[in-house]
A = this chain, B = another copy of it.
C-alpha cells in the first residue's frame, strides 16, 4: 500500500482511488479466473465478489477479456522483471535455478491465484483471442527464454554442466516447475496449514534442483 502511494504521488486523490479500485477488481477476478478458468468465471461472479455492480466493472474495464488480459499481463511482467533480477544476481546456473525456485516458492505462497493463472495460461490462450495477441505475453516468453538460454550456455562454457541442448532444458524446466508445485498444492490441500504448505514447497524445490543437477542414480 505504501509502495502504491509512493509510486502514484503525482496523481490526484480520485485517480489514486480509481487505480485502487481497479486493483481490487483485478485481484478478485484473478482469484476467480484461477480457480474456475475464463469461461467458468461469470462477470456476475466478479461483480459479486468485488462487491460492485455488474455495470460498474465496465467503468473500469472494456470487457471481460480485458480484465483477464490485464491480469495476465501484470503477472508475466512481474515474473519477467524478477527473472531479470535473479539472472543478474546469480553466478552459476545452479545458483540461478536455486534462487528462481526460491522465488517461485514465495510466489506460489503469496499469490496463489497468479500462480494458477500462469499454470492455465497455455490452455486458456486458445480460447481468448486477446491473450493470444498480447504483446506483453509474447515478449515475456521471448525474454524469459533468452535469459535462460544465456545462463545455460554460460554454464556449459564454464564447464559447470554437460553439453546439453539449451532449448531442451528451458522447456523441461518451465514445464516441470509449475505443474509440480501445483501438484503439491492440491495433493495435500485440505489437511494442511499454510506453514506446512510452504515447507512442502521448499522441500519440493530442493528436490527439483537436486534431481536436475545430479540425477537420481546412485553415485
Contact = CB atoms under 8 A, between A and B. Distances in A.
Contacts of A211: 164, 169, 172, 211-212, 215
A56 interface: no
A39 interface: yes
B126 A218 contact: no
A20 interface: no
A168 B204 contact: yes
A136 B207 CA distance: 30
Copies of this polypeptide in the complex: 4
A208 interface: yes
Given A162-B216, A215-B215, A207 B168 contact: yes
B212 A214 contact: no
A36 interface: yes
Given A179-B179, A211-B172, A217-B162, A39 B36 contact: no
A123 B203 CA distance: 24
B126 A37 contact: yes
Nearest to A35: B126
Contacts of A37: 39, 123, 126-127
30 contacts: A35-B126, A36-B126, A37-B39, A37-B126, A39-B40, A40-B127, A94-B217, A119-B123, A123-B123, A159-B218, A161-B216, A161-B217, A162-B219, A164-B207, A165-B203, A169-B216, A171-B183, A171-B187, A172-B180, A172-B207, A172-B208, A175-B175, A175-B179, A175-B180, A175-B183, A176-B179, A211-B215, A213-B215, A213-B216, A215-B215
